[in-house]
Copies of this chain bind each other. A is one copy, B any other.
Amino acid sequence: MALLETSKHCQGSVLGSVNPDLGSERQTASFCVERLTALLDGGAEQTRIRRAVVEAIESDPIFSRENQYFQTQNERYEAAVRKAVHLQKKMHEMGWTENGPEYKYIYRALSGDVAFLLHRVFMRSISVLGSDRQVAKWIPLATQHKLIGSYAQTELGHGTYLQGLETTAVFDTATQEFILNTPRISAMKWWPGDMGRSATHTVVFAQLYIHGKCYGIHPFIVQIRSLQDHSLCPGVTAGDIGPKMNFEHIDNGYLLLKNVHVPRENMLSKFCEVRPDGTYVRQGSQQINYFTMTSVRISLISDEVLTPLQKACTIAIRYSVVRRQSKLKPGEQEAKILDYQTQQEKLLPQLAAVYAFHFTNDYLQELFDKGYREIQRKNFDMLPELHALSSGFKAMITQHCTAGVEICLRACGGHGYSLLSGLPSLYTKILASCIYEGENTILLLQTARFLIKCFMAASAGQPVPPSVTYLAAVKHGKCPAKNKLDFLSPDIYTEAYQHVAVRLTSSTAAKLQDLIQSGVKKHDAWNQCTVQLVQAAKAHCHYIAVKNFAETVEKLETKAGIQKIMKHLCDLFALHGIFSNTGAFLHDGYTSAAQMDMVTAAYLDLLAVIRKDAVPLVDAFDFTDKSLNSALGSYDGQVYQRLYEWAQKSPTNQMSPAYERYLKPLLHNTLSKL
């Protein structure tokens, strides 16, 4: 290959200098990239710690993901287990602890490509749901990896609706044991991570029966594999559920239980206990359970949802200044594809959204911390609002970011479709976030239920939580904007979003009441409003996201150009939402057609403004080449060389038996007939 400098380690290697088409984009940044990185990290000290963790992980070849796109499901699983085991050693070596400041960066640095993630859920569920004695017994065993835990809730036939779970746990007073069964195929536990091949124990959720009476769903610690030779325990059938769209590294499993006995002490009993005589005792508040789901939904946003979209934006935007296609001006060289308005319109709103949601996440985290402090003081008042916001934003942000990653993928044309671009795996992974931890439509309907309740209360003059007080103040005005520049005023667009959220909530509440008053049964009426209820919930979340972004920008430091560029992104996020959803704003005439044309003009103008800072804005996410694992997204922009070098390493470039077996007979058979 005289054509190019071939390097042995395409991913780690410096292939040469930075592609000048990419380099030039960095010359003209309107803000200080390093300072924006620090803002995103929560301070320069956090940036320093994060980089140290990334450096330590990425310099260790055991954590390499270089071959990931070439590996089978079995190879991925094995590598993930190896990494999980090695991580224990690494943490010890580095002096990292589970409570240290480095901990939260480890998972991100590994890009989640590690086993035993459910082991942590196993531990958390015991900590939250177990009695002090249970915590004292199991947590040290788990911490020291004397067992490997999983968490078995979802069944083949049952997901979100927990009351429908079919697994049973019957208490036998004679033996002081629970007898667990999955009585039908639909009751089989299905999906739990780490359970297909690794776990020795799991927390099983089952319907508790005592003396023939059902007490509902309770958690039980069940050993499923021998600690000596890993064989399945008596009565247990378990295995791997096979190939999925992503998560090849995780052994999502199935579990059948046939008369499996566990001692009475294995029911997690912080809140409910079964006494030796079969007496069922409920103790303490179960509201904390509710809080746990909230906590999980908020915590997944950052690592599982925002990071993938940040990576996708980085890859697609860097590629879009390196790729040249067609001529924008006659006689000139082919243009960078990011100079086309249509390409800007695909990518820049995704960039604005990922910044918007970064600040939404901060907002939720703060609210959550406040809620947690209140709960510790036995005040549960914030829970309904927290639940509604965490459900709605989990749904909205996963939905928006999944669509965003797909847009980035498509915007890279054919090369985006190659696994080596990194984009397909980002997409297939983030897609799952729309489904797990509560299916999005169901979550939005929970938010909507809260909204309708609060709207009714507010209409009746009753107090409502802070995030929904706006529902009380229904204004019937018109949007006051007079020209396109007015739409760069946060007051103008925030008010417009608020107006839409109120309108959709109030009109759906009215439809619901009308139906009920006309004699439709309550549950039927609710079902007939669900499409519109989902719209209302989305509008509510969108309003809060816009308002929060605008308020955040207001408070930013004005130095180093940070506030200015964030203001542009905030405007773009808001105007893109209006431009993509004009009907909601036009419907009752709050916004006129002439104003909508101003929105369009202001929105398209903004694209051209932000395009100039597009590369610095993705550079600020501070991803290393190894963490992007993408031939299109590397810092130096040497796209074509990377694609070529990397493709040559594919197992498909080793000799295939297909030639000897099929092609040679085909070609030679006919040749011999000549």
Contact = CB atoms under 8 A, between A and B. Distances in A.
A339 B526 CA distance: 13
Given A227-B671, A410-B435, A418 B185 contact: no
A435 B418 contact: no
A254 interface: yes
Nearest to A638: B185
Contact of A85 (B161, B657, B666): B666
Contact of A145 (B4, B84, B670): B670
A227 to B, nearest CB: 6
Contacts of A78: 656-658, 661-662
Contacts of A281: none
Interface string A77-118: 110011011001000000000000000000000000000000
Contacts of A583: 581-586, 596
A604 B531 contact: yes
A176 interface: no
Interface in A62-90: 69-70, 72-74, 77-78, 81-82, 84-85, 88
A338 to B, nearest CB: 12
A627 to B, nearest CB: 20
Contacts of A13: none
A413 interface: yes
A418 B431 CA distance: 12
A256 interface: yes
A534 interface: yes
A245 interface: yes
A414 to B, nearest CB: 6
A413 B439 contact: yes
Contacts of A328: 523-524, 527
A325 interface: yes
A77 B530 contact: no
Contact of A413 (B159, B343, B419, B646): B159
A593 B587 contact: yes
Given A239-B653, A245-B419, A340 B667 contact: no
Interface stretch (A190-198, A288-296, A359-367, A384-392): A190-198
A644 B254 contact: yes
A644 B185 contact: yes
Contacts of A628: none
A434 B420 contact: no
A336 to B, nearest CB: 12
Given A241-B418, A583-B596, A230 B664 contact: yes
A185 B242 contact: no
Nearest to A86: B662
Interface in A143-197: 144-148, 154, 156-161, 164, 184-186, 188, 190-191, 196-197
B656 A242 contact: no
Contacts of A326: 160-161, 164
B419 A435 contact: no
Q: How many copies does the complex hold?
A: 2
Contact of A650 (B242, B417, B585): B242
A159 B345 contact: no
Given A77-B656, A256-B3, A445 B644 contact: no
Contact of A184 (B3, B586, B643): B3
Contacts of A528: 341, 604
A240 B188 CA distance: 42
Nearest to A587: B593
Nearest to A156: B640
Contact of A345 (B346, B419, B531): B531
B651 A73 contact: yes
Given A237-B1, A334-B164, A413-B435, A145 B666 contact: yes
A76 to B, nearest CB: 10
Contact of A329 (B341, B523, B530, B657): B523
Nearest to A85: B662
A11 B315 CA distance: 40
A1 B182 CA distance: 12
Interface in A617-674: 640-641, 643-644, 646-654, 656-659, 661-667, 670-671, 673-674
Nearest to A198: B663
Contacts of A670: 144-146
Given A424-B428, A582-B587, A648-B239, A640 B325 contact: no
Given A164-B326, A230-B659, A148 B191 contact: no
A436 interface: yes
A479 to B, nearest CB: 14
Given A432-B417, A523-B328, A586-B587, A652 B147 contact: no
B587 A584 contact: no
Nearest to A69: B243
Contacts of A88: 666
A251 interface: yes
Contacts of A647: 239-242, 254
Contacts of A653: 239-240, 242
Given A72-B651, A650-B240, A662-B82, A146 B671 contact: yes
Contacts of A416: 435
A87 to B, nearest CB: 11
A243 B663 contact: no
Given A4-B185, A78-B656, A164-B326, A531 B342 contact: yes
B164 A652 contact: no
Given A329-B521, A346-B441, A406-B406, 5 more contacts: A73-B651, A154-B414, A239-B648, A254-B647, A340-B530
14 contacts: A1-B256, A72-B72, A82-B658, A85-B666, A161-B326, A161-B327, A164-B334, A240-B647, A241-B647, A242-B646, A328-B523, A581-B583, A582-B582, A582-B583
